[in-house]
Amino acid sequence: MIKKLLFGILLLASACKAPESTESKSNDQAKKIITAGGTISEIVHTLGFGDQIIATDITSTYPESMKSLQSIGYRNQIKAEGILALGPDLVLIEEGYLNPDVLDQLVAAQVNVQVFPKPQTVEGTKKLVSEMALFFDAKAKGEEINAAIDADLAELDSYLRSQEQTPKAIFIMARGPETVFIAGDKTFAKEMFNLAKIDCPATGFDEFAPLTPESLVSMNPDYLVFFDSGIQSVGGKEGLVKIQGIEQTTAFTENQIVALDGHYLSGFGPRVGKAALDLAKAVRQ
């Protein structure tokens, strides 16, 4: 009799227990996120949380929907007041992207600020994906993204093994015909060239250096690689003649000019393998 009574009480308690609300749980997890750094924004989106981003910086150009969000500006232009006015629950920042005083102000305002490193290698990309996936409690999705990166790299390797030539190229950072730099060692360009098996004669110096007519002629690259925005800054391909020495290169005389989206080429985000493959193919046409 007592056993039956206890069993009845348990059944009643079970019937009265309200089922867990998926909608309520989803709302609890939803946040108003602000991102600063195109790679950070892309990974948040790829992890499945892009719809929670309410504002971002101008380097966040992928996916296309990022461009329609309210902009917080670019690097030194970004102010803490502009971010705080939007009332974010979470601010995700690329390391070194904001002025230290801006970061201090956000922390002082008790905003949840998370800083992540900007990757410069494929391994750095995969590590960042894993770290952000862990932060968002989306480990499985992070593993899926990294598996996709590995698949893209396998496709790149397969393509390169079918090719015999190793083209010679340099990356030029142009911000108008009078502001032209060449990428050297310890740059995203050198790392991408290594992935795409491109010979780069610009070596022996770190980061970016002013491009001189003499160095351009002496290197005589088969291909010149630019950002789309760099080509536009000199007035399109026709405007390249404004860069002294360029007309004496094989790349120019053979019209072997490659222009890719800046974030796609330099971001080292989830599409890094695809970007390297596109670059490899562009210099082997």
Q: Are residues 161 and 278 in the same domain?
A: yes
Q: Which of 62, 94, 118 is the C-terminal boundary of a domain? A: 118
- Number of structural domains found in the chain: 2
Q: Which residues pair with 260 in a beta bridge?
A: 227
Residue 210 included in any domain: yes
Residues 201 and 249 in one domain: yes
225: domain CATH number is 3.40.50.1980
- The runs of H, that is alpha helices, within 70-172 are 80-84, 100-108, 122-135, 139-161
Question: Is 239 inside any structural domain?
Answer: yes
Reported as a single tens digit per residue, the pLDDT across 230-251 is: 999 999 999 999 999 999 999 9
Of 56, 91, 118, the position where a domain reaches its end is: 118
Q: Report CA torsion sign: 218, 224, 225, 230.
A: positive
**Mean pLDDT, residues 166-172 taken together:** 98
Calculate the average pLDDT of the chain. 91
pLDDT of residue 257: 97
The predicted-structure confidence for 9-63, as pLDDT tens digits, reads as follows: 333 333 333 333 323 333 346 789 999 999 999 999 999 999 999 999 999 999 9
Query: Does the residue 190 lie in any domain?
Result: yes
Q: Tell me if 141 is assigned to some domain.
A: no
Q: Are residues 168 and 264 in the same domain?
A: yes
Predicted TM-score (pTM) of this structure: 0.87
Q: Which of 96, 118, 140 is the last residue of a domain?
A: 118
Q: Please check whether residue 34 is in contact with residue 89, taking contact to mean a CB–CB distance below 8 angstroms.
A: no
233 and 169, same structural domain? yes
Q: Are 116 and 132 in contact (CB under 8 A)?
A: yes
Residue 261, domain extent: 157-282
Are 273 and 188 members of one domain? yes
pLDDT at 1 over 90: no
Span 114-163, pLDDT tens digits: 999 999 999 999 999 999 999 999 999 999 999 999 999 999 999 999 99
The pLDDT-based confidence of 285 (bands split at 50, 70, 90) is confident
Task: Establish if 47 belongs to a structural domain.
Answer: yes
